[in-house]
Amino acid sequence: MGTYAVTGAASGMGAAVVDRLVGDGHTVIGVDIKEADVVADLSTPEGRRTAATAVLDRAGGVLDGAVLAAGLGPAPGRDRARLIAEVNYLGVVELLEAWRPALAAAERAKVVVFSSNSTTTMPMVPRRAVRALLDRDVPKALGSLRMFGKMAPSFAYGASKIAVSQWVRRQAVTREWAGAGIRLNAIAPGAILTPLLEQQLATPAEAKRINAFPVPIGGFGDPGQLAAWVVFMLSDAADFLCGSVVFVDGGSDAWFRADDW
Ligand code: NAI
């Protein structure tokens, strides 16, 4: 049995992953801003440091895997774009950099990062914002999104998920990750019925947009189904999976870009 760190453990897909791992007999160290083993605010540098250190202390320096599910969806609000950039991007990469030696110590560790199918289905996400996030320059990223006004949080969301996917793919193949026996991959869900999506559906204009979005098999995904994919990506069966972004989205990515190779 292994020891796994799971961020976003208090709700939605993170909570569903915790249920499965615990049900399979593993030890889970949950991280969240509320109701978790490690309570930390991943939107601040101090909160990210606390989360990184507290997990390493609890794990005794060896982690068999990590699941980075903490995230904020697009919603209105003055500070929302910054929070999205900090939690969805820095809340993944800073924690994983801190945990990398503990993952390497496990020898066959697996990491799953939550991306999104917005990476390929959301048009017009400024590349400048993505580049700024990859450079860890959140003010610069926000500056390049200012022209979107009230829509800035939506584009911050798209940029955060593109940046985190690029980071995963760049790092996954390096000596520090693949070379240290760590399998680093991402999952890209479509619309999954969690509190995050419910919050969006509560706004009539957003609900209209979400319901009009093409999903070839129809409806919304279920958090438990996504958790099953994550657990598979943490298993020995995924030893040959490295730097992949696995789309589990009812067909939307294929609908938009079947010929895009
Ligand atoms: P959720 O809202 O149910 O869970 C997200 C968790 O992140 C919550 O427990 C929340 O407290 C935690 N969190 C938020 N801000 C935090 C902070 N500052 N510090 C620490 N923890 C914080 O959301 P859901 O749907 O389970 O999302 C999981 C991941 O999947 C997210 O990264 C999201 O962007 C991604 N995703 C979700 C989709 C959906 O349709 N639900 C679609 C595509 C991607």
Q: Domain segments of the chain: what residues?
A: 3-248
Mean per-residue pLDDT for 53-65?
Answer: 98
CATH, range 3-248:
3.40.50.720
Res 16: pLDDT: 98
Residue 251 backbone zone (phi > 0: left; psi -120 to 50: alpha; other: beta): left
pLDDT at 211 over 90: yes
How many angstroms does the Cα of residue 175 sit away from the middle of ligand 1?
30
Atom of ligand 1 nearest to the CA of 13: 26
How many angstroms does the Cα of residue 196 sit away from the middle of ligand 1?
6
pLDDT at 106 over 90: yes
Mean per-residue pLDDT for 61-73?
Answer: 98
How many angstroms does the Cα of residue 7 sit away from the middle of ligand 1?
9
Res 261: pLDDT: 83
Between helix 223-233 and helix 12-23 the angle, nearest 10°, is: 60
Mean per-residue pLDDT for 40-47?
Answer: 98
pLDDT exceeding 90 applies to what percent of the chain?
97
Residues 172 and 99: beta-carbon distance below 8 Å: no
Catalytic residue positions, numbered:
157
Mean per-residue pLDDT for 51-80?
Answer: 97
- CB 125 less than 6 A from any atom of ligand 1: no
- In angstroms, rounded to a whole number, what is the distance separating the alpha carbons of residues 12 and 224? 9
Per-residue confidence at 102, pLDDT binned at 50, 70, 90? very high
Residue 204 to residues 92, 200, 209, 237, Cα–Cα distance (Å): 31, 9, 9, 42
pLDDT at 95 over 90: yes
Mean per-residue pLDDT for 222-236?
Answer: 98
- In angstroms, rounded to a whole number, what is the distance separating the alpha carbons of residues 151 and 54? 36
